[in-house]
Structures are given as C-alpha cells and as structure tokens.
Amino acid sequence: MSRLTLPINFHEMSVFNQYFVAIICIFFLLIPSVLVPEVSAQNLPTGQCVTEFKADNDYFTDKVTVETASLFSIEYFNHYKLVTNKQTQEVFGLYQCGTVNDLPANVKPFPVSINSVAVTDTSSNAFLDMLGLRSVIKVLGSADLISSPCIQYAKDNGDITILSTNETLNAIELGNVDLIFGATDAAADKKSVSVSSSNDPGVLNRVEWIKFYSVFFNAESKANEVYGKIKSNYECFKNLVGKNTLSNKPVVAWVAYEAPSEFNQNTAAYKIADAMYKMQLTEDAGGVYFNSTTLSYSNSVDFLKAIENVDILIDETFVAPTLDDVYKNFELTPNQQYKFIKNQAIYREDGLTGPNDGRDWFENAVVMGDALLEDMINVVNPKLPKSDYQRIWLRNVAKNEPIKISSSNNCSDLNQPSFSKADDCSALPSVSVKGDGVISSTPTFFSYLIAFVISVIFSNISII
C-alpha cells in the first residue's frame, strides 16, 4: 500500500511551508501594533492629559478631512489643531492638554479634550448628542427651544443649567464651562466658539459639521463613522429616487409669511426661499425647486400669482400651526384652484417639537441629512421610500396631521448617543444598489490578510 507524502525540497519551500511562514511573518508584524500602541490623544483615558511631552509624537492619529462643507477648515500639527470658521473668520487653536501652548498668534486657545460646554445654538445639541457627548453640556441658552428628549431629561434632573438672564449669574455660569458653542455675537469672548452649520449651503455640508465639533473632544473617529454612514445612506436614497423618477416632477415652493412688525416697517411680507440646501433637498428627492427673480412680495395678490403653478407648498412661517392659519396668512380660501390646495399638499416643518415648541427641525434635521431627504422624498412621492413611511419633520397641515411632541419621557438611555432617524436605505425591499457603487463595504485589514494568505498558497514564487 502506498502512502501519500508531502513534497519536501530543502532548496525550494513547499506550498504548505510557504503558507505557515506567511502566517508567522504576519503575526510578528502585528505584535508591535498590538503590544506598543502609538501615543495619541485618542488613546488617553477621558480627562487625562499627556504626562511626558515629546515634540515628535503625533498626538492626533485619528483625523478628519473636510470633504463637502465650505464654511470650516481643519489643519493638524503634532500636538495642536487649527480650526477655522470661515464665515466668522475665527480661528481656534486646540492643543493637547499636557503639551505646550505654542499656538500661532491671533487664535483662540483651548486645551483639549474639552470637558464642559455651554450651548446657545440649538443645532449644537444634536451634533453633541450624536457624538455621544451629551454629558459635556452643562449650560443651555434656553429651556424652551430644546427638542432632544435626553437633554430635556438632564435639564429636568439638574445636570444642565439654563443660562440666567441676570448678568452676574450669567457670568458665573459661563465661567464654569470650558467653552461656549454658538456665541457668534460674542466673538471677543475668549471662550466663545462660533458655529455656522445651518448656514453651510448643502445638506451634507451641514451634516459634516459633526467633524467641526469632534475636534474639540478628540472624537474624530466617531465623527468619521457618523458622517460616513449618513452620507452613504443619503446617496442610497438619492439613487432610489433616480430609479423611481416621476414622469411629471412636482414643483415645490418653500415660502413664509412675515406679519407687520417694527422689524419690517409694519409692512407684511410674503417670501420665497432661495436656500441652497432646500434646492438640493428638493431636487435630490425628485422634485423641481421653485425659485423666482422676486423673492419678497408686499401683497398676497402678486405672491399668489407667482406661485400659481406650484404643486407642493412648504410653509416656513414660524407660528401657523393650523390650515386656517396658513389660509389666513397667505389670503387663501379652500375653494381656490391652486394645485397645492386641490391636492392637499401643504406642509410645515413643525412635525416634531419639544413641549414648548422647540423645533427639532433646527436640531436633528440639521445633522440627520439622510432622514431629512427621506422625509422630502415622501413629500414629493408618497409611495416612497416605502408604503408605510411616517414623516418626522414635514407635517401635512392640509391633511391635519398632528404635531408629535418630544419630551424627557422619550429618553430611553441617557448614556447612549443618538442615531440618525433614517431607515437603512440598503435594507428597503424596493432598493437595488448592486453594482452602483453607492453602498459598499470598506475592505478591512483582515480581508487584505486573507487575500495575501491565499495569494501565497497558490503562488509559485518562493518566499526565501
């Protein structure tokens, strides 16, 4: 009886020996990265600073790159970062605590990681929520404008203070935090950090401001993860719309009524929006964005003449919760033949608010760009993105859809970060993303490792 023997060659290694040598080599290559982690700010425990500063160390191995946003920039150096708000021209120098403050002149210095903040811009709440940094919020500018249920919960339990209107107490409260987000009207304040997320022109531009916030907390890795998921999901929804384009795209107008007041010389104004992100959102959802050479009208007759062929109306008037309010403001009547009246296609942005009418539209709708697009898709085509879709922010006031109230009772876990409210586009039954490059997995190290081992096994090239 013959016995199967493995080929042995003392000059040329066998295929099987090559395999084992490859594995051993890879193992030893991995040992330094496992046993000797690179010194970086992200590897330090929360609240701990560098104890032995080395100028040649890169203390920020996790970095972000600005891809879409146009109103901020970030530069990395070994032990500090320079963050610029391009709209306000403020530059913030973030040096790793425990290193040296040798920042350039004319920058606002902050040792990072930041441990406590005051927030006077409501959208900042949502960005910090999604980064898992809710606990750093110690002071809020207003109690009424909060939508986040867990921030409401923290406020109700005394973990967050509402900024006092008393000047002396106000100074004391702000003196107890490391920085103030949103204080654009106090640029001279050494603790103020101006934010312009709501002014960045595109939907994903606004979302990407999560990277701006992250650098103050060395949370770049989390920001990259959140932005990457939202961007990928947004592109998937956009692709879904492209595969289900309506033969007659509806025309969408974003409008607002301004009542006479001391701020407009006691003259009513009827306005048509021209914000870039609204145009982008409308077009990505499959609609046609209505724009006009005249964006403000002093009387309803001229205004209604301008929008007479509009299919869908989005009313951005802040106070107009009922259809009767909308009709009254724009001097409309139910029997008029406008398409948006006949089709019951009048929407408002107040679908989700806090108990005191704090609009989630100004919080989560800024950072959750994929969920915002999903809402808009359903406005343009009610059959998408799925038959039972429930809009979050855009409420059909013509159909008397109710306002949803977000209260502290809706906080399920105070210690968990918030997540985008969007559906997973790639999991929707009607979505096909095969081969379009929208949704794809990033190759991991282990996928490369497996590919390398397979190539060694089947290669005729000897390792030694």
**Spatial distance between the Cα atoms of 355 and 335, rounded to a whole number of angstroms:** 34
> What domains are defined for the chain?
227-408+416-427 (3.40.50.1980)
pLDDT at 115 over 90: yes
Digit-coded pLDDT (tens) for 128-174: 999 999 999 999 998 888 999 999 999 999 999 999 999 999 999 99
The answer to whether 270 touches 254, Cβ cutoff 8 Å, is: no
Averaged over 165-186, what is the pLDDT?
A: 86
Q: What are phi and psi of 186, to 5 degrees?
A: -135, 50
Digit-coded pLDDT (tens) for 217-245: 999 999 999 999 999 999 999 999 999 98
The contacts of residue 378 (CB under 8 Å, 6+ apart) are 384, 385, 389, 391, 394
Residue 25 or 236, more confident = 236
pLDDT at 383 over 60: yes
Say what percent of the chain tops pLDDT 70. Answer: 81
Q: Are strands 269-272 and 251-258 parallel, antiparallel or unpaired?
A: antiparallel
Q: Are strands 80-85 and 72-76 parallel, antiparallel or unpaired?
A: antiparallel
Helix (H, G, I), strand (E, B) or coil at 168: helix
pLDDT at 463 over 50: no
What pLDDT score does 189 carry? 81
What pLDDT score does 324 carry? 98
pLDDT at 445 over 70: no
Digit-coded pLDDT (tens) for 396-417: 999 999 999 999 999 999 889 9
The answer to whether 313 touches 347, Cβ cutoff 8 Å, is: yes
- The average confidence (pLDDT) of the chain is 86
The answer to whether 286 touches 245, Cβ cutoff 8 Å, is: yes
What pLDDT score does 161 carry? 94
Confidence of residue 47 (pLDDT cuts 50, 70, 90): low
Residues 411, 417, 420, CA angle at the centre, nearest 5°? 90
What pLDDT score does 40 carry? 59
Among all chains, which residue has been given the structure tokens 């025309």?
Answer: 251
Buried b / exposed e over 127-157, threshold 16 CB at 10 Å, is bbbbbbbbebbbbbbebebbbbbbbbbbbee
What pLDDT score does 186 carry? 56
Confidence of residue 44 (pLDDT cuts 50, 70, 90): low
How long, in residues, is the chain? Answer: 464
What pLDDT score does 46 carry? 62
Averaged over 112-138, what is the pLDDT?
A: 95
Which residues are paired to 255 by β-bridges? 272, 315
161 class by beta-carbon count within 10 Å (0-12 exposed, 13-18 middle, 19+ buried): middle
The answer to whether 346 touches 313, Cβ cutoff 8 Å, is: yes
pLDDT at 262 over 80: yes
What pLDDT score does 142 carry? 86
Give the containing element (helix H, strand E) for 151.
Answer: helix 149-156
The answer to whether 397 touches 348, Cβ cutoff 8 Å, is: yes
pLDDT at 4 over 60: no
Confidence of residue 433 (pLDDT cuts 50, 70, 90): very low
Averaged over 27-48, what is the pLDDT?
A: 53
Residue 210 or 171, more confident = 210
Averaged over 37-65, what is the pLDDT?
A: 79
Helix (H, G, I), strand (E, B) or coil at 40: coil
Digit-coded pLDDT (tens) for 326-365: 999 999 999 999 999 999 999 999 999 999 999 999 999 9
pLDDT at 438 over 60: no
Q: Taking Cα atoms as reference points, which of 180, 181, 236 lies closest to residue 370?
A: 236
Q: Helix 149-156 to helix 122-130 angle, to the nearest 10 degrees?
A: 100
What pLDDT score does 60 carry? 94
Confidence of residue 255 (pLDDT cuts 50, 70, 90): very high
What pLDDT score does 264 carry? 84
Digit-coded pLDDT (tens) for 269-321: 999 999 999 999 999 999 999 999 999 999 999 999 999 999 999 999 999 99
pLDDT at 371 over 50: yes
